[in-house]
Structure 1
Amino acid sequence: MEILYFAWLRERIGHPKESVETDAETVGALIRELRAREDRYALAFSDLDAVRVAVDQELCDLDTPLEGAREVAFFPPMTGG
């Protein structure tokens, strides 16, 4: 599965994307796996209220299943004017 990181998440983790193999069944489980990897991931995902997620380019929540997903993107909330 391809994981994309945008904005300050990319800066904290240190790269814009990576391919991972995971047994996570949901987005929330994937985040828990990533947090356990290294401190930089734990820092990036320390405040989940400040993180949005899309699975295969559709906004979703932490309970969203990952079965069949090809891409997960993490990014800060969008603002506009």
Structure 2
Amino acid sequence: MMPTVTLLYFASLRERAGIASETLSTQAPDLARVYDDVQARHGFTWPREHLRVAVNGEFARWGDAPSAGSEIAFIPPVSGG
């Protein structure tokens, strides 16, 4: 059975996807693959190396595996002003 996760998008990713969050069932082995999948679906232009990823409010590593029920946030760089 595939774990179901909630994805959160911020800043330009949210603008591009047209949504702030979505629920996804994934077979991805790690957070990097989760991003690759949604990047292809939504046409995100940010390369993964420029983003931060967080799980349940804590910064995570791209190699971490997604777990059922977790909330995964993809955070692009934000320019201050």
Measured against the shorter chain, the TM-score band is 0.7 to 0.9
Q: Could you list the runs of 5+ residues in structure 2 that have no partner in the other structure? A: none
Deviation beyond 6 Å, 4+ runs, structure 1: none
The aligned residue for residue 34 of structure 2 is 30
Q: In the TM superposition, what is the alpha-carbon distance from 1:36 to its structure 2 partner?
A: 3.3
Three-state SS of the structure 1 residue aligned to 2:38 is helix
The aligned residue for residue 16 of structure 1 is 20
Is the contact between residue 55 and residue 69 of structure 1 (CA under 8 Å) also seen in structure 2?
Answer: no
In the superposition, the TM-score normalised over structure 1's length comes to 0.76
Are 2:63 and 1:66 aligned? Answer: no
Aligned residue pair count: 76
Q: In the TM superposition, what is the alpha-carbon distance from 1:55 to its structure 2 partner?
A: 1.1
More helix by share: 1
Q: Could you list the runs of 5+ residues in structure 1 that have no partner in the other structure? A: none
With over 3 angstroms needed to count, the CA separation of the structure-2 counterparts of 1:74 and 1:30, relative to structure 1, is same
In the superposition, the TM-score normalised over structure 2's length comes to 0.76
Q: Distance in 1 between matches of 2:33 and 2:60?
A: 14
